[in-house]
Amino acid sequence: GTQRVETDLFSSLENARVPVRYMSRTLAAGNDELVIKSYQKMIAVRIYKRAETVGDVTKEEADAALAKAGMTAEEAEAIYHLTSLPNYQERFVIPPYSREGDIEELYDPQQRKAEMGFGKRQGPQRGL
């Protein structure tokens, strides 16, 4: 059978574990509207995907949730893809690290690899 979307599946903003005011101060410089809009989009994507995969939410309820959040089904799919199915390049931004290239411009690292390591090769001395 189907369930009531508003009461059974997802909590409302008033019953959220983390208060909207706290989230807005932490993430949006105190702008409650941004947090509420983001939360509504997140819930709309969850309802849309649940209607698509599980089937216990009707298509009309999913479309109503998308309309309430002010988004389309294509936007919901894009948000779902970026948050749930990203590949390594989409999930992390790794800056290029060209240490090997810079060393090779000065000298051949294979010929001088014995000189690399920690500290100097000096025997310990006693006294001053």
Q: Which residues contact 66 (CB under 8 A, 6 or more apart)?
A: 44, 47, 48, 72, 73, 76
Weakly modelled stretches of the chain, pLDDT under 70: 1-11, 97-103, 114-122, 128
CA distances from 125 to 118, 122, 128 (A): 18, 9, 8
d(CA 8, CA 58): 14
pTM over 0.85: no
CA atoms within 13 Å, Cβ hemisphere of 35:
18
CATH assignment, 5-87: 1.10.3650.10
d(CA 52, CA 58): 9
Structure tokens at 29: 């410089």
What integer pLDDT is reported at residue 72 of this predicted model? Answer: 96
